[in-house]
Structure 1
Amino acid sequence: PMKVIKAVQGALMRMLKSRIYSRSDYMDALVLLSEIFYKIRKEGLVSIEGDLDEPEKSAIFQKHPSFLKNHHAMEFMADTLRTLTITDIGAHEMGSLLDYEIEAHYEEALIPAKSIANVADSLPGLGIVAAVLGVVLTMKKISEPPEVLGHSIGAALVGTFLGVLLCYGFVGPLGRNLEHIANEDREFLMVIKEALLAFINTPSPQVAIEFARRVVPGDLRPSFLELESVVREAKKKQAWQSSSPKKS
């Protein structure tokens, strides 16, 4: 289907252009969430409506361009916060809703990987078909000298070799790489989900960010002191920026 073809094209382009989530990406997301939570606790949920409606013009989001460019993560967080502003949904119901959205996005992200994996699985079979056709053509030359027959049979076996090589050496790893990217997308969204749910349960920015930090993959997880230092510095800058107009 054309939808699958477009999805595969988009996934391949993203694989070539984007980079894998790094430690700084997770740190940036945690600091952004902490700034939003502190603003909500201080000024209420209504105070972030302008930031969510026009994130490109938001002073908070402008400080985190890498997160702003992650359109799905941005939409995931913004839609959840908007839901909190207009409903009185509980943490359990919100958790189920976020799980459904994450799984739906994950299944959609796996479509290109599964499609390419199916192509990879078919390549050895195509190689065997090419070999059989080569043998059939060789049978026409059965009366030829051994040198001619050997050349023809060798050409037939090249089809099998190419099928196996493309399957396990190129197309198969390509599909697994796309699956790896989909898994990393899900891990990133899970961190955002845990922060939001923790903030709903206990409206404490420190607790919510710590819940989210614990979900970050181990090799990318910042330490407690490292994150606390960055968050404290961000709070100082935010307080200075909010107070500077009053001094002028």
Structure 2
Amino acid sequence: MDLLSIIGAILAVAVILVGTVLKGSSISALWNPAAVVIVFFGTTAAVMVQTRGAVLKRAMKIVGQVFKPGNTDVRDLISRIVGWSELARRQGLLGLEANIESETDEFARKGLQLLVDGTEPAVLRDMLESQIYIQEQADLAAAKVFESAGIYSPTMGIIGAVMGLMAVMQNLADPSKLGHGIAAAFVATIYGVALANLFMLPMFNKLKSLIQQRQQHHELLIEGLVAIANGDNPRLIESKLQGFIV
């Protein structure tokens, strides 16, 4: 689990609640069912109109990576690749077959299977690089769903505020309702801006960073697999892959 993201999400909510109290208002003043409907459901509707079903489904699949990004240890990956190269040097490429089933990374499993099948190094590289590109584009399109939500939600907040002010204008004859009505109108703006800047846009940027990081790991994996296919010395492979560590 990514504790930093979890703490950040909790802190984001706390900032709004504590800030409201420190400004002399009450937490209950932040609750407005009409604003919830306008901002949250309105943003969802806008995203659904814009996004294809397959992209939206993938977005829901990868959103968990914000809080649970998975294994990103470059040194561990290099160690595994060196281990594969040593095994291949002792037993041949067919000796790697037992590692395919135990490998948890789907991309690594495919690469190992191509090695075991005796795929030429150049063909192996082309096939895996094509898969990297396709996956990266699909994941970036899914991540942009949250960027779109971050763009639309402040606008929905403004719409909610305007609709609230319209309701206030209809009750000008009763001054006792004006203050409460105006305050409630601006709750929608808080919802929209907070949703965008504390959650949606940070989630998009986090996912984009993770996608780029995973692409680098896959490129490292390709270099290692191609080196194994070429029969390079394990120590040479390790030295070459050390360049990916920053």
Q: Same fold (TM over 0.5)?
A: yes
Question: 2:108 is matched with which residue?
Answer: 74
Q: What is the identity, as a one-letter code, of the residue corresponding to 2:88? A: I
Distance change >3 Å, CA 214–CA 32, structure 1 → 2: same
**Long gaps (5+) in structure 2:** 1-51
| Contact residue 124 and residue 167 of structure 1 kept, 8 A | yes
- Please report the TM-score for the alignment, with normalisation by the length of structure 1: 0.69
Question: 1:164 is matched with which residue?
Answer: 193
Q: Does 1:31 align with 2:79?
A: yes
* Alpha-carbon shift at residue 44 of structure 1 (Å): 2.2
Distance 1:20 1:131 in 2: 44
Instruction: Point out which structure has higher relative CO (alpha carbons under 8 A, 6+ apart).
Output: 2
Question: 2:209 is matched with which residue?
Answer: 180
| Contact residue 130 and residue 156 of structure 1 kept, 8 A | yes
SS in 1 for 2:67: helix
**Long gaps (5+) in structure 1:** 57-67, 219-248
* Alpha-carbon shift at residue 189 of structure 1 (Å): 1.0
| Contact residue 34 and residue 209 of structure 1 kept, 8 A | yes
SS in 2 for 1:188: helix
Q: Does 1:209 align with 2:243?
A: no
Q: CA RMSD in A?
A: 2.4
Distance 2:145 2:90 in 1: 48
Question: 2:146 is matched with which residue?
Answer: 116
- List, as ranges, runs of 4+ consecutive aligned residues in structure 1 with deviation greater than 6 Å: none
Counting matched residue pairs gives 195
Q: How does 1:4-153 map to 2 (within 5 A)?
A: 4-19=55-70, 21=72, 25-52=73-100, 55-56=101-102, 68-69=103-104, 71-83=105-117, 85=118, 87=119, 89-91=120-122, 93-145=123-175, 147-153=176-182
Q: What is the identity, as a one-letter code, of the residue corresponding to 2:193? A: V
Distance 1:90 1:186 in 2: 19
Q: What is the identity, as a one-letter code, of the residue corresponding to 1:10? A: K
Q: How does 1:166-245 map to 2 (within 5 A)?
A: 166-201=195-230, 203-216=232-245, 218=246
Distance 2:83 2:205 in 1: 36
* Alpha-carbon shift at residue 18 of structure 1 (Å): 4.2
The share of aligned pairs that are identical, in percent, is: 23
Question: 1:245 is matched with which residue?
Answer: none
* Alpha-carbon shift at residue 162 of structure 1 (Å): 1.6
SS in 1 for 2:223: helix
| Contact residue 131 and residue 159 of structure 1 kept, 8 A | yes
Distance change >3 Å, CA 199–CA 113, structure 1 → 2: same
Distance 1:80 1:115 in 2: 34
Q: 1:167-201: CA deviations, max 9, x gaps?
A: 00122212222222222211211111122233445
Distance change >3 Å, CA 75–CA 49, structure 1 → 2: closer
Distance 1:19 1:95 in 2: 24
Q: 1:198-246: CA deviations, max 9, x gaps?
A: 3445622222222222123x1xxxxxxxxxxxxxxxxxxxxxxxxxxxx
